[in-house]
Structure 1
Amino acid sequence: MKETIKLGLILFIITAISAGVLAVSNNLTKGKIAELEMAGSMEALKEIFGEDSKFKPLDEGKFNEIKGNNESVVEIFEAYSGENLNGYAIKMVSKGFGGDLVTLTGFSIDGNVKGMRLVEHSETKGLGSKAAEPEFYNKFADKIAAEEITVETISGATVTSKGVMAGVNAAREVFNTQLSN
């Protein structure tokens, strides 16, 4: 009996130390991870709206209101050309074959899709991962945001394709109901 308690106590101590080390390493790396994610978002935003565009996060109050109505919203950016509001970019989470898909969809002020990028995924290499390639994401450009957006699916990656379209259409719904005038 004493041996069992001793082994249990040793296991508890090892587990507590491991949890502490993981917590410390998480705190040390979370800033860098957030920085890398933001850099990836900015790169995608510039691809969608152009190198000369400037971006700023949507007003926090407005963002929180939108996020309260739609938990799939990750971030919303305003896109500017000089001082003029050029459009919005909405980052959404949807479900794919391999897990979460994070899409970034840009909308122009006139109600058209400027472009879409798949910024995070864990889809099968060579199949679902094709959704992050220009041959697929360029199909979304110039679609009308007032209508449901559909594109031809990737052969062999229907679940991924439909997940991306779900993310784009959820972003379209946010744009139409919360951001367009």
Structure 2
Amino acid sequence: MKKSFNEIIKPVLVLVCICLVVTALLAYINSVTSPIIAKAEQKKTEQAMSEVLADADGFDKLEIENLPDRVTEVYSATNGSGYVFMLTTKGYGGDMKLICGMKANGTIEQCKTLSHSETSGLGSKTAEDAYRNQYSGKSSDTLSEVDAITGATISSTAYKNAIEDAFKAYNMVKEAEK
């Protein structure tokens, strides 16, 4: 009987204790680091917002109902210079998080990729300046002039569809302001 306890139960108890200690340590580390990570992500987002809408002096989050599927948040520049749209779309490799700054007249100032999991060398080209700069100065009428990336049609089409949703959201915001 004693042999059974030492061979079976004791190792199980030791492993359970180790798991409990490790779980408690991970929970503590998570509670310490999650506010720091959230603050860093917020700072990164604010910096990206300033990059895509350079004339803005600050941003106010708008609460608009029934936004297009790919639009997650909308911000208005406090000085009225334009709007920033936070977008999430499904590319070839997974979710792509984008940000699009539009001037008050409805033309894109700049777009930027915040994160993606696209194939390196193909779909990841949507995050490069050569692709995203095509959107600068475009309106909903001239968006068709943007060229897709050869070999990465799914990723570039997903990017373009997200920008189309940003234009739909822009129209909704303008309508709500009337």
Name the TM-score, length of structure 1 as normaliser: 0.76
Q: Is 1:168 the equivalent of 2:155? A: no
Q: CA shift at 1:154, angstroms?
A: 1.5
CA contact (8 A) 2:87 2:162 kept: yes
Q: How does 1:87-102 map to 2 (within 5 A)?
A: 87-102=82-97
Q: Is 1:47 the equivalent of 2:42? A: no
The one-letter code of the counterpart of 1:92 is L
CA contact (8 A) 1:111 1:180 kept: no
Q: Which residue of 2 aligns with 1:76?
A: 74
Cα displacement string for residues 41-99 of structure 1 (whole angstroms, at most 9, x for unaligned residues): 2332233222x52122314xx2xx43x6556444322224xxx3011101111111222
Q: CA shift at 1:131, angstroms?
A: 1.2
CA contact (8 A) 1:97 1:160 kept: yes
Q: CA shift at 1:161, angstroms?
A: 1.0
Residue 89 of structure 2 aligns to a residue whose secondary structure is strand
Larger Rg computed on CA atoms = 2
Alpha-carbon distance change, 8 to 131 in structure 1, aligned in 2, over 3 angstroms: same
In 1, the alpha carbon distance for the partners of 2:72 and 2:171 equals: 17
Alpha-carbon distance change, 117 to 6 in structure 1, aligned in 2, over 3 angstroms: same
CA contact (8 A) 2:53 2:84 kept: no
Residue 154 of structure 1 aligns to a residue whose secondary structure is coil
Q: Which runs of 5+ in 2 are unaligned?
A: none
Q: How does 1:152-163 map to 2 (within 5 A)?
A: 152-163=147-158
Q: Which residue of 2 aligns with 1:106?
A: 101
% identity of equivalent residues: 29
CA contact (8 A) 2:53 2:83 kept: no
Q: Is 1:58 the equivalent of 2:58? A: no
CA RMSD of aligned residues (A): 2.7
More off after superposition, 25-34 vs 93-102: 25-34
In 2, the alpha carbon distance for the partners of 1:114 and 1:29 equals: 35
Q: Which residue of 2 aligns with 1:180?
A: 174
Q: CA shift at 1:148, angstroms?
A: 8.4
Alignment size in residue pairs: 170
In 2, the alpha carbon distance for the partners of 1:70 and 1:20 equals: 41
In 2, the alpha carbon distance for the partners of 1:38 and 1:21 equals: 26
Alpha-carbon distance change, 69 to 21 in structure 1, aligned in 2, over 3 angstroms: farther
Q: Which runs of 5+ in 1 are unaligned?
A: none
